[in-house]
Structure 1
């Protein structure tokens, strides 16, 4: 039986502004990437998201971003490796406190937006963040969004890393993602086909029709996709058909 994780970015609401469909999506996933309060989220949203994850036995991870609420953490900031490490440790500490309050633990780290891009482009920044993670908790897992980061993570002594794939976005032939300005409805059956292809064979069809290798053990689903629940329902139907086991990162890495 193949084991794979379904992760989703969560807790990105702020005050009276709502982002995503956390309550509807949470029952279908196995790991939640919870915003750490810099690019999105606030203390109340963090608490509510941790409570929701604990209720559904979903693994909890921090989704740290750059300090950029206005730009939703997607704008570049000139920061040193040490500064980015501190941003991650700060947000990790906040989420860890909420998790402990509810008898849970933080299992992983998955950087967001421009921070992720910075780590992908600069191994020095990536190593600083990863070593900072280990200094906080040497059981933490790094969820790697691309192969550049994954290769750096695998060279860090003592760090567990998992490569993630995407099924509700298209890939280019070079394995880079085609990120749209706004998410639109996706055909649930097509997305479910991609999920099965990655989970069982480690491959997916790129936008140009070429088959590319995606050696992922975790699949990200965008919770702010308009039909995210329909997509997840279709995936769960396929999981049962293809003898695929869904498991949180802590049981895979």
Structure 2
């Protein structure tokens, strides 16, 4: 029976700013990527998110981003590889403190936003992220796009790599995600998103925005937690996967 992990970027509230339906989504996903305070999240939010994830029995991942609260980590920054290394290591450590206090364990790491996109195509930044993960705990899984610089860097550093695909994002012919500034970057139709997921998981391919078919490997599917239909998307995608005979479970470490 084919199997896939469903993940969501959660814990992205900050202070008085309420973002995402974390409580409902925790019951729909099998792994949660928790913001670590740089692009979103704060100590109170991180502590609450860790407890929510532990109670929901989902795999917990660190979700480090650029130090960019104003831009929600979606603006590229001209950081050096050494700066990226220490920022990622710092954020893993911050989240791990809450995990240790809660009696929970860290399962994986997935970079956020512009840092994720940069690492997909920049070998030096990819290596810095993968090295920070390996230096902290080589047993951690690194979530990365298929055939990306980040995936290759993770394997080079001896990490288990979970290849990630996106339910509600379109792809370009080069395999990268369509930039959010493009008017057609997001898939807003629920059934279209479900069809994309099933094709990626069951057939190992995805149709690019411009019509080309691309090869993908789908170990884990990202469901964005900050969209207005996030919970409906998550529930319907799980239903469609079950109907197709696909088991939904956390990505297993090697």
Report TM bin, short chain: over 0.9
Superposed, 1:71-220 pairs within 5 Å as 71-145=71-145, 147-156=148-157, 158-181=158-181, 186-220=188-222
1:246 match:
248
SS at match of 2:26: helix
**Deviation of residue 121 (structure 1)?**
3.5
**TM-score normalised to the size of structure 1?**
0.92
Structure 1's consecutive aligned runs of 4 or more residues displaced over 4 angstroms after TM superposition are: 181-185
Question: Could you tell me how far apart the structure 1 residues matched to 2:56 and 2:213 are?
Answer: 35
**TM-score normalised to the size of structure 2?**
0.92
Question: Could you tell me how far apart the structure 2 residues matched to 1:206 and 1:185 are?
Answer: 12
Question: Could you tell me how far apart the structure 2 residues matched to 1:129 and 1:205 are?
Answer: 29
Deviates most, 167-176 or 37-46: 167-176
SS at match of 2:62: strand
Q: Indicate conservation of the 8 Å contact 1:4/1:252, yes or no.
A: no
2:21 match:
21
Q: Indicate conservation of the 8 Å contact 2:168/2:187, yes or no.
A: no
Q: Which runs of 5+ in 1 are unaligned?
A: none
1:56 match:
56
Question: Could you tell me how far apart the structure 1 residues matched to 2:129 and 2:97 are?
Answer: 19
SS at match of 1:224: coil
The Cα RMSD (Å) is 1.8
Deviates most, 13-22 or 124-133: 124-133
Deviates most, 41-50 or 74-83: 74-83
Q: Which runs of 5+ in 2 are unaligned?
A: none
2:10 match:
10
Q: 1:117 to 1:233 in 2, by over 3 A?
A: closer
